[in-house]
Structure 1
Amino acid sequence: MEEALIIAAAGLVAGVMNALAGGGSFVTLPVLLATGTPSIAANATSTVALWPGGLASAIVYRDGLRPIAGISVRTMLAVTIVGGAIGAGLLLYTPERLFDRLLPWLALCATLALALAPRIGPWMQARLGPRGRPLILAGQMLLGIYGGYYGGAVGLMMTALWSLIDGSGIKALAAARVVMGCAANAAAIACFALAGIVQWNTALLLGGGALAGGYAGARLGRKLPPAVIRHATLVLCVAITLGFFARAYR
């Protein structure tokens, strides 16, 4: 009973984080690992549990969808879904011990994305100039693979990539960010379900908490200053990333 409450609470916190700034898997994954869930199954279960909240957000945002740098939404979706399926397949064929070693580095990439996303787009755009459709599509395929394989902060990484070419603000890209992240995870979930590695009872507990947290986080986000949200999220992500390194290389 106590473990179930901890898992539901982790889902709640993750839902709040995803609603405010992203990075909810930074909470759910270590909690699942602490309960004895193998790392690959924990990653798959976390992805499944957090997906309904992302889907709900995608439905809300759907009216704001528009082409990215002239690339249609359908094309972006197709590339993202293919990438998500490839990433999930790679995860399923990754030995558990190797994934345990990779996990802290993936978490570090996600943490850096959370920290640098607001600046890296304008900085790169000013220095590189436009590269057009090939860069966006190639980058989107890689991010789809990353999303299916691990997925931490993938939405922020997508926003940073699109900003290099599109030049729109974060709010204008929010709808595409949510929908593409949801699409990559949907492809991954199908693969995980077919492989039978999802712990469904745990996913239901996490998912219920995440839905409640997503609602609460959306309301909280209207009141808290953006700087407070970002700093609190980054502190938590840095602490968990260090914990992953300690676990993998102790």
Structure 2
Amino acid sequence: MLVFAAGMLGGAMNALAGGGSFVTLPAMIAAGVPPVQANASSTVALYPGGLASAWTYRDGLGPVGSVSLRVLTLVTLCGGLVGALLLLHTSSVAFTFVLPWLLLIASIALAFGRRIGEALRARVRIHRHAVLSIQFALGIYGGYFGGAVGIMMMAMWGLLESRELKHLNAPRTLLVSAANTVAVVAFIAAQAVQWPETLSMLVGAVIGGYGGAHLGRRTSPALVRTITLIATSLITLMFFIKVYGHHA
């Protein structure tokens, strides 16, 4: 029931504002799944929802500036595979210690990613080769953890061209799904997925994603964003206290 409820909440959060893994990953750990397997299982559970988003946005797919979507997808797939393999070769102890920092990075991206991107956009322009290098790095991050990676991608793409950011939603959902696709395959092949918990969470996430999409049409975006940022900040703080508190 815990992982099913977390799946519903995580699916709804992803449909509304992102940050679903902030709920699903701690729930997996609380259910007794080891941290690395919990991250892999959470990724698999939230994957169908991300794929549905990518399918919804398919009509808006196109190149990002001068970089073709095919090349970006290939680079992201390679990065996602590297990230997934890195996670599978990370011990549970090491992942536990790095997890609060990953959550903090994702929290900052959720809270300030767009503002940082807009501030940089007004001052900086980058070459397509730099975009591919950064995209590869974001693919690694996406395969390893992935929190708020879509926001990071859009902030970076904004430095390449002046197109409105809302037009980048289609490539964002596709490339986040690309990183997750190769990660999901790697996690399943490595038998790192705890299937009873994952399937329960997956069903919850599908229901939550559907409900969240409908709720989003009736709810103030500012309210949704505020609640999301409060929740992600509290969860990040909780993990810092849990992991590092007894060392203080």
Fold agreement, TM-score > 0.5: yes
Partner of 1:198, secondary structure, is: coil
Residue 170 (1) aligns with residue 165 (2): yes
Q: Distance between the aligned counterparts of 1:170 and 1:219, measured in 2?
A: 23
Partner of 2:39: 43
Q: Compute the displacement of 1:118 (Å).
A: 2.0
Amino acid paired to 1:47: T
Superposition RMSD on alpha carbons, in Å? Answer: 0.9
Partner of 1:160: 155
Q: Distance between the aligned counterparts of 1:246 and 1:121, measured in 2?
A: 30
TM-score with structure 2 setting the length: 0.96
Match of 1:103 among 99, 107, 120: 99
Residue 72 (1) aligns with residue 68 (2): yes
Partner of 1:90: 86
Residues 69 and 132, structure 1, Cα contact 8 Å, conserved in 2: no
TM-score with structure 1 setting the length: 0.96
Amino acid paired to 2:8: L
Tell me which moved more, 80-89 or 196-205. Answer: 196-205
Partner of 1:207: 202
Partner of 1:184: 179
Residues paired across the two proteins, number: 245
Q: Distance between the aligned counterparts of 1:225 and 1:97, measured in 2?
A: 40
Q: Distance between the aligned counterparts of 1:204 and 1:103, measured in 2?
A: 23
Partner of 2:58: 62
Q: Compute the displacement of 1:170 (Å).
A: 2.8
Residues 13 and 213, structure 1, Cα contact 8 Å, conserved in 2: yes
Q: Distance between the aligned counterparts of 2:32 and 2:89, measured in 1?
A: 21
Partner of 1:223, secondary structure, is: coil
Q: Distance between the aligned counterparts of 2:39 and 2:171, measured in 1?
A: 24
Residues 150 and 176, structure 2, Cα contact 8 Å, conserved in 1: yes
Q: Distance between the aligned counterparts of 2:111 and 2:67, measured in 1?
A: 27
Q: Distance between the aligned counterparts of 2:57 and 2:165, measured in 1?
A: 13
Q: Distance between the aligned counterparts of 2:50 and 2:144, measured in 1?
A: 17
Partner of 1:10: 6
Amino acid paired to 2:91: P
Q: Compute the displacement of 1:161 (Å).
A: 0.9
Q: Compute the displacement of 1:171 (Å).
A: 1.6
Q: Compute the displacement of 1:117 (Å).
A: 1.8
Give the percent of matched residue pairs that are identical in Structure 1 and Structure 2: 51
Residues 7 and 202, structure 2, Cα contact 8 Å, conserved in 1: yes
Partner of 2:217: 222
Q: Compute the displacement of 1:123 (Å).
A: 0.4
Q: Distance between the aligned counterparts of 1:138 and 1:75, measured in 2?
A: 12
Residues 2 and 31, structure 2, Cα contact 8 Å, conserved in 1: no
Q: Distance between the aligned counterparts of 1:145 and 1:249, measured in 2?
A: 26
Tell me which moved more, 132-141 or 77-86. Answer: 132-141
Match of 2:116 among 113, 116, 120: 120
1:43-62: CA deviation from partner (whole Å, max 9, x where unpaired): 00000000001111111111
Task: Flag structure 1 segments of 5+ consecutive residues without an equivalent.
Answer: none
Q: Distance between the aligned counterparts of 1:108 and 1:196, measured in 2?
A: 28
Match of 1:138 among 117, 128, 133: 133
Residues 46 and 203, structure 1, Cα contact 8 Å, conserved in 2: yes
1:82-136: CA deviation from partner (whole Å, max 9, x where unpaired): 00000001111112111100000000000000011221112001122x2120121
Partner of 2:20: 24
